[in-house]
Homo-oligomer: A and B are copies of this chain.
Amino acid sequence: MPNDNPPNLLPAALRQPVPRLPRVAVVGATGAVGVELIACLEQRGFPLSDLTLLASPRSAGRTMAVRGADLPVQVLDDSSLDGVHIALFSAGSAASKRYAREAARRGTIIVDNSSAFRMDPDVPLVVPEVNQAALATHHGIIANPNCVAIIAAVPLAPLHAANPIRRVIAATYQAASGAGAAAMEELRAATEAHLQGETYAPRVLAHPYAFNLFSHDAAVDLETGENGEETKVRQELRKILATPELRIGVTCVRVPVLRAHTIALTVEFDRPITVDAARDILAAAPGVRIVDDRAANHFPMPREATGQGDVLVGRLREDISDPSGRSIAMLVAGDQLLKGAALNAVQIAERLLT
């Protein structure tokens, strides 16, 4: 991908430091991720002098409760980010492309939840537990990865550090939230209609969602058959893990779950690895919680991943289809809106504070 960042975007080392109490903006404040961004800032006591909520004209006039006060939602325009030190963007790729670069040029540091800049070589793609050091290379824009890539990277990175990963085969069980608040509402409404014997015409997603699942709704490459979500997961995992040649096969599927993603992972390592060794590494890894009770049949579930920030990891076992003893299978789950999006972005912002 060509490096088309204008030369006047300053690298992190030459920029003004972020003040102790920065001015912060949330762009896309009323969306599914925006709501969680605000909640994460509040709950984690993110130090700030001022919080600006921005959204498209559709949300003009709304207010949102933040720390006990009703904050107005303002319409995003070219001057909205003047004087803002850190802007958390989650308003889609088009808004990020339209506003982020100019704001970065004028001094705002952008943490962008869209896919607009993720594969730009001048933009670090960061999961703080994994590659925080990459933050030092930013030029005003830092990308928050795809939700599946984050949730997979948190357990894969510490394993990779101990024994290089050669191949990953993943099948995802992705929640409605990845398609936004409207998709979550569609899942509820379609299911309610189904239970009452009524028909429901899908409006947000292309297929019936009540008690149904379908291949991820991202567009499919007509030549290769890979869909856009799978491309993101493959490319972004390679960038986050700094393994540009990593072999990754992914199948992305949308399941009728509201807001946490689950992933079945089969991972081949460079050298033989035991399940006990993998479990020890994961148990000590930041952002991971082992949920692996074989006797109680209690493993990672979206219900328990929801509303908390860890990636749950379990079903740890040898992949018996690889007789070389170099492969491990596991099931992981994380809250798509939190660690898969808002929480990770706020964790990035926390590391920008001086």
Contacts and interface: CB of A to CB of B under 8 A. Distances in A.
Interface of A: 167-169, 171, 173, 187-188, 191-192, 195, 206-208, 211-215, 217, 219-222, 224-227, 234, 247-249, 251, 253, 255-258, 262, 264, 266, 275, 294-295, 297-303, 314-323, 327, 329, 331
Contacts of A327: 249
Contact of A249 (B167, B255, B316, B329): B329
A192 to B, nearest CB: 5
Nearest to A293: B220
B315 A258 contact: no
Contacts of A169: 169, 266, 319, 321
A187 to B, nearest CB: 7
Contacts of A192: 195
Contacts of A300: 215
B297 A215 contact: yes
A249 B213 contact: no
Nearest to A187: B211
Contact of A173 (B173, B225, B227, B275): B173
A319 B247 CA distance: 10
Contacts of A195: 188, 191-192, 195
A316 B222 CA distance: 11
16 contacts: A168-B321, A169-B319, A191-B191, A207-B303, A208-B301, A211-B303, A212-B301, A214-B301, A215-B299, A220-B294, A225-B275, A225-B316, A249-B321, A251-B264, A253-B264, A264-B264
Given A217-B297, A249-B266, A212 B303 contact: yes
A225 B317 contact: yes
Contact of A220 (B225, B253, B297, B301): B297
A226 B225 CA distance: 31
